[in-house]
Structure formats: structure tokens, C-alpha cells
Amino acid sequence: MDGPDLPIRRSRRQLVEAVRERPFLIVTGETGSGKSTQLPKYLYEAGLAKHGAIGVTQPRRVATVSVAQRVAEEMGCELGALVGYQVRFDDCTSEDTAIRYMTDGCLLRQILTDPLLSKYSVIILDEAHERSLSTDILFGLLKKLFLQQKPTGRRTDMKVVVMSATLEVEKLSEFFGHCSVLHIPGRSFPVKEIFCNLLSPRDVGSSAYVTEAVKVALDVHLNEPEGDILVFLTGQNEIERACDLLFKKAESIDYRYEVHDRAVEGLLILPLYGSMSTDQQKRIFLPAPRGIRKCVVSTNIAATSLTIEGVRYVVDSGFVKQLNHNPRVGLDILEVVPISKSEAKQRAGRAGRTSAGKSFGLFSREFWEQCMPEHTVPEIRRTSLTSVILTLKCLSVHDVIRFPYLDPPEERHILEALKELYQCDAIDRRGHVTRLGEFLVQFPLPPNLSCALIKAASLDCEDLLLPIAAMLSVENVFIRPGDPQKQKEAELQHQELASQVGGCNDFATLLNIFEQCKASKSPSAWCQKYWIHWRAVKSAFSVERQLREITTKLKQLPDFPKETFEGSRTEILRRCLCAGYFINVARRSAARTFCTMDGHGSIVYIHPSSTLHNQETLLEWIIFHDVAVTSKIYVRTVCPVRYEWVRDLLPRLHQVDAYELSSVARE
Ligand code: ADP
């Protein structure tokens, strides 16, 4: 069983031996050399899974599923048998699963219940160069658990492999006690990088890159010899818009490239983004029919996580959607930002897999020099640390400041996370996890949502919160069609759904959708009528079941809190939400604006997607689920609350000195 002819094949024996001989190994190689798909298989075939499974982590859900699918196919087995995958809320593994692909977040959660990872004989941390938050924490934990002496014992029989594109290898090796690095020689062809000069520094913050990318892709199609095109855009909306434009060569395109009527004939347009169904994703790997050129319009996922063969032309928008902590609001926000120079090189490299290629960057040289940083900042240095700090605390890592981070986060970010954990009562004043903290960490949800859920469960009202938590954990359920006429129609139906629950609480609207859809004879027809994504609601059903299981187990514990409260259904719902979301509370400060009360005092607006938009003057206090930032800060998924409900909680937002929490952490 030699598998496909990929560059990694020639290093097979060397790799297996290296893993056998050493506890830690770093493997580097060009994207697409076969690391993710082949190495776990080699190790399995060499008998390294005899005493436990081979666990392979990936930062992205889509890649996790796609790679597992591919390997199952190559090994001629059903997915979920010998080869399986596990992502949040979707477990496709069994007792027999010897090669287990999972997201890094999933492995992190498994450590909570099994700190020595006794199920595994090999752990492979893949895509290490992406430096996702969970992978970074896993680096530190594995180092701590397996390299340093620990009173709880350590695994000596365990093998850890870190796989990465060729970035920061020395730093990684040093971090893991100067462990060996094995490089897989790859083949790649020269790529000519072209500045199209269509975006200047002034275009940061505008969405002009979508139409520009479409123009360049059409231009390539008309003027360049055969070879597939890969267009890098930022997210689902932008990608769908670009695909629409490509399909109809829409009027909005100015024809400076002399696009004639028959222009897009012979072009197969395929979108690729995270929330697409796996069947749809599979199509991108199939070669286009003879004489047809494939054009894949993708998020950053095609930069390193998935390799599409046959690409000779890359069109790079120069932007990426990235989760960043926004100090103005004190929350994480998905933003469109310029990519780094190293990211741009990685994207360009995708054009040189099978022959010499060309990469068309939409940006100007000025943009490259002024707006694009050298390297992408690791996630641990730019997003909220609340969840991972709670995880560490639950793993008895009390000193979260001196934890072995590959790149230590700024101390004030750690302090901010400690403060938030204290505010929701997950840790005490000495920085120790409380019983509530131990309950919270059981849920694969943000702490504030888990908090609201536990409050509801303590009142025996979890039926109100479970569907909401599930609906907030899946992709957006509301369909917003591009066509203005249809958009009107969809909006009316969405308003109808909101008005059924009094029209003044976005959380209750989500609950209403969940319950109505569940009760209807034909849920898919119901969704169609109301312009709701059936696929999203269907996954919410499954998420709800899983969250319910966790809740039921917790409720059986003798020390699980029990409370009583008299009130209407909507009042109970809103009060439970307050218990978790009081950190996100805001008070109306002018006709349409609100001021947050968390110490940041940011001025926020209600997002147009909320049913409370245009009703601001009727409101005084609100809580919200998240924010979107453009030129203004918008809050989304909003619920009005009464001052009496938050009054007693508000002091928690201020009566804490973060240093007090961390001084114990330093002990
Ligand atoms: P690396 O991990 O080194 O980036 P991979 O193992 O992910 O490389 O990819 C090796 C090859 O397998 C690539 O040519 C890629 O196109 C192919 N491949 C990976 N996943 C799939 C899939 N789901 N379907 C078809 N081909 C795939």
C-alpha cells in the first residue's frame, strides 16, 4: 500500500523511523506534499496505532472533515470506522477508529477529561504554522505534560509530531527541547507575481476588492493559456457575490478588459468556504471536463489547509477575514484586514503546484509596503483568551502568566480574561476555579452563553435556553437574498417570526424559529416559507440534543444549583440571559445610541438585522450577543432588560482588580 505519488512518499521510511525513535518530531514540507493525508496512514500501517489511536488535529473544521474523507477513501473504508473525524458538535468516530482527525479545539476539550490522553499513542498537530489559539495552547500543554516532570505522571510512550509548512521551524524546535526537524523535499514551480495596482492603501475598509477580483479572473480566463484559477476572497457573502458576478458577467463590471458576450463560456465557477456542505466541497477536487477551465473562489482555506491540483493562476484580493480583539469594545470581532506578506507568498505559491504559474495580486506596491505586515500575528496575541484560560485553570494550570507559550500573549489580555472569568463567577478572588467554573467548562460554548444556560437549568427552564444556545452555535439561520425584491419578501417573513413573540427580543425569535420548525410537519417546507436556512436549523437540532445531554448530566450532580423564580416565560428567559450577558449590557445614551457599561463605555448602535432596530427610543437597557464593527459599532442579537435585573450584577463589572486575580496566578 504505497498510496498516491506525492512528494512525501520518498520520505516514508525515514519518517516512520523518526517517529518511532523520538518522543517529539517536527515535520515540514510544502503545502500539498501529503503530510496530512499520508503520514497518519504510514504510522498506522507501521503498527504505531497498536496501543492507542493516532490523533491528528487541524485548526479548521472543513479541512478536518475533508482530509478524513479522503484518507478513508484511500484506505477503502467507511468514514467513521477505521478513519473518522470529530469536530465540535459532530462526532464521526467509533471504537474502531485508529486514525482520528479532529479540530484542535476538540483535542483541547478531551484533555479536560483525560489529561494524559490515554486513548492515543500518537498525537499529530497539523497546520502548526496557522498558529490557531487552540494549537498554541496544545503546544504548551504537550510540552508541560510530556517534557516536564509532573507529579501526576507523564507519558513516556507517547509520540508527538508537529507538522507545519516551512515557517518558524527553528523557534518551534527550540520550544520542544530542540527536537529534530524532518523536511520533506517538495517540488514546486516558479510563480510570477504581478501587482495589478487595482487596490491602494485607501481601499482598506472598502469592498471594492470583490468586483476587482472578478474582473481580473475574467481577464485571466480570456487571455491566459489553459490552467485553473484560484481566487482568494474573504468570506461566504463576498464569495457568493463574486460567483454571481462571474455567472452573469454583471452589468456592474466595467468592460475595460473587453469582456465580450461569450466571455465566461468554458468557465466552471466553484465557491469554497467553511460552512458549505461536504458534498459541495468535494466538487472542488474533481478535475474540470475537457476544454473547461475551473475557477475556484475561496476563503483562506485554500491557502494551506486544502490543496487543489491544476491551479496555474491565483487571483489574490489581498484581504482576509480575521477574528481580532477590539480594544475599543473589549470584544472579539470578525474583520476584513490586509493579509501579511508571508500569507501573500503562500497564496501565490498555490499557482505553482503542477507547472509554472502566475499570481495576480490586486494590490499596488504601495499597498504591499504600507498595509501588509511581514507575518500574520498568531491568534493567541489578538483574540479573547477567556475560554482557554478557564480551560487551563480547570487543568490545574494556575499560573496562566508563566504557562509555556510559544508566543506569550500580552499580560493585559490575560488579565482581561481573568477579570471576565471573575465577573461571571467562574474563578474566585484568588484566581481559583469555582464550582460554577467547573460546570461552565463542560459546555463547548462561550462562557457567557454557558452561564445563561446554567442559570436556566438551575430554574428547571433549560428548554428556553438550549434552543437559543444551539441556534447561536450554528451558522446564521436567516436567508438574506441578494435580489432586492426577494430581500423584501424575506424581511417580511422574518418580521412575522419576530412579531409572534412580541417583536422585541432577538433571542426569543431564535427560540420561536427553533420550536416552530421542530413542531412543523415538514420542517424544510416551513423553512422555505420563512426564508430560513433549513440546513442550519437542522444542525441546531443536533447541537441542542448534545447540549441537553451535558445539561442533564450536570443536573444530576448533588451540588448543581437549584433556584426557584415566579414569572412569565419571557421574563424568565430574559433574566437567565442577564445572568450570562450582563457583561454585554448597554444603556441608551441618546436617540439611537447606547453606551456599554463594562468600563469601556463604548457608544453602540443596534444592528439593522435586529428586530429592535428603529425601536431604540422605546428602550432603556439592553443586552446583546455580539458586535459588528464598520464605521460604527453595531450590537447584534439584542434583548431589552430591566435595570432591576442587572443592578445587582453591575458592581461585579467594576469591583475587581485584575492584578489581585493574577497575583495568585503568579504564586
Ligand atoms: P499537506 O498536508 O502536505 O498540505 P495533503 O495531505 O493535505 O498535503 O494533500 C495531499 C494531496 O491530497 C493533495 O494533492 C490534495 O489535493 C489531495 N487531497 C487532499 N484532500 C483531498 C480530498 N478530500 N479529495 C481529493 N483530494 C484531496
Residue with the smallest CA separation from ligand 1 atom 22 is 70
For residue 147, name the pLDDT band (cuts at 50, 70, 90).
Answer: low
The three-state secondary structure class of 487 is helix
C-alpha dist (Å) from residue 221 to 50, 196, 197, 225, 230: 51, 16, 19, 8, 11
Q: What is the 3-state secondary structure (H, E, C) of 160-174?
A: EEEEECCCCHHHHHH
Per-residue pLDDT averaged across 450-455, rounded?
95
| Closest CA relative to residue 192, chosen from 238, 242, 227 | 227
Residue 262 has pLDDT above 70, yes or no: no
Average of per-residue pLDDT values in the chain: 89
Give the nearest ligand 1 atom to 37 CA: 6
Radius of gyration of the chain (CA): 26
Residue whose CA is closest, atom 19 of ligand 1? 67
Average pLDDT over residues 613-621: 92
Q: Of all atoms in ligand 1, which is nearest to the CA of residue 31?
A: 4
Cα–Cα nearest to 67, from 59, 14, 119 = 59
Q: Are strands 594-596 and 585-588 parallel, antiparallel or unpaired?
A: antiparallel
* pLDDT for 283 beyond 60: yes
What is the DSSP-derived secondary structure letter of residue 202? G
pLDDT > 70? residue 663:
no
Q: Are 464 and 511 in contact (CB under 8 A)?
A: yes
pLDDT tens sequence across 538-572: 989 999 999 999 999 999 999 999 998 888 999 99
Collapse the DSSP code of 495 into the 3-class scheme (helix H, G, I; strand E, B; otherwise coil) and give the result. Answer: helix
Backbone angles phi, psi at 367, to 5 degrees: -60, -45
- Per-residue confidence at 253, pLDDT binned at 50, 70, 90? very low
Residue pLDDT, tens place only, 577-598: 999 998 899 999 988 999 998 7
Q: Which atom of ligand 1 is nearest to the CA of 184?
A: 3
Q: Counting atoms of ligand 1 from 1, which one is nearest the CA of 306? A: 7
Query: Which residues, 6 or more positions from 424, have their beta carbon under 8 angstroms from its beta carbon?
Result: 436, 440, 447, 448, 451, 580, 583
pLDDT tens, residue by residue, 209-241: 999 999 999 999 989 999 999 999 998 889 988
- Distance in Å, CA 8 to ligand 1 centroid: 12
**How much is the pLDDT for 249?**
63
Phi-psi region of 186 (alpha: psi -120 to 50; beta: other; left: phi over 0): beta
Predicted pLDDT of residue 354: 84
* Pocket around ligand 1 at a 6 A CB cut-off: 6, 29, 31-38, 66-67, 69-70, 285, 307, 309
* pLDDT, tens digit (0-9, with 9 covering 90-100), for 153-167: 566 788 999 999 876
Q: Percent of the chain having pLDDT more than 90?
A: 63
Among 277-281, 297-301, 431-435, where is mean pLDDT lowest?
A: 277-281
Please report the ipTM that was assigned to this predicted complex: 0.96
Cα of 363 to ligand 1 centre, how many Å? 29
- Distances from the Cα of 108 to the Cα of 62, 385, 587, angstroms: 18, 14, 37
Largest Cα separation within the chain, whole Å, is 74
- Centre of ligand 1 to C-alpha 304, Å, is 10
Which of the four pLDDT bands, split at 50, 70 and 90, describes residue 36? Answer: very high
Please report the atom of ligand 1 found closest to the CA of residue 308: 16
- What is 504-556 written as a DSSP string? --HHHHHHHHHHHHHHSSSHHHHHHHHTB-HHHHHHHHHHHHHHHHHHHHHHT
Ligand 1 binding pocket mutation candidate from 6, 64, 70, 228 (most atoms within 8 A of CB): 70
Q: Which amino acid is at 384?
A: S
342 CA from centroid of ligand 1 (Å): 22
Interacting residues of 44 by C-beta distance below 8 A, sequence separation 6+ = 54, 98, 99
pLDDT (tens digit per residue) in 46-101: 999 999 999 999 999 989 999 999 999 999 999 999 999 999 889 999 999 999 99
Output the CA 387–ligand 1 centroid distance in Å.
Answer: 32
- Closest atom of ligand 1 to 38 CA is 6
Count of C-beta atoms within a 10 Å radius of residue 2: 9
- Which residue's CA is the closest to the ligand 1 atom numbered 5? 34
Angstrom distance (rounded) from CA 305 to CA 349:
13
CA of 377 to the centre of ligand 1 (A): 26
Q: What is the mean pLDDT of residues 130-153?
A: 81
Distance CA 40, CA 20 (A): 13
339 CA to centre of ligand 1 in angstroms: 24
Of all protein residues, the one whose alpha carbon is nearest to atom 16 of ligand 1 is: 307
CA of 6 from ligand 1 middle (Å) equals 9
Q: Mean per-residue pLDDT for 330-353?
A: 89
pLDDT at 251: 43
Which helix (DSSP H) or strand (DSSP E) does residue 209 occupy? helix 208-223
Mean pLDDT, range 492-509, rounded to an integer:
90
Taking the C-alpha atoms of residue 387 and residue 406, their distance in angstroms, rounded to an integer, is: 18
Q: Which amino acid is located at 101 in the chain?
A: Y
The ligand 1 atom at the shortest distance from the C-alpha of residue 69 is 23
* Mean pLDDT to the nearest integer, 366-372: 95
Residue whose C-alpha cell is 477567556: 386
Instruction: Say what the pLDDT of residue 293 is.
Output: 92
Cα–Cα distances (Å) from 236 to 241, 322, 381, 537, 541, in that order, read 8, 13, 25, 18, 23
Range with the poorest average pLDDT among 24-28, 79-83, 249-253, 642-646: 249-253
**37 C-alpha vs ligand 1 centroid, how far in Å?**
6
Instruction: Report the SS3 class of residue 333.
Output: strand
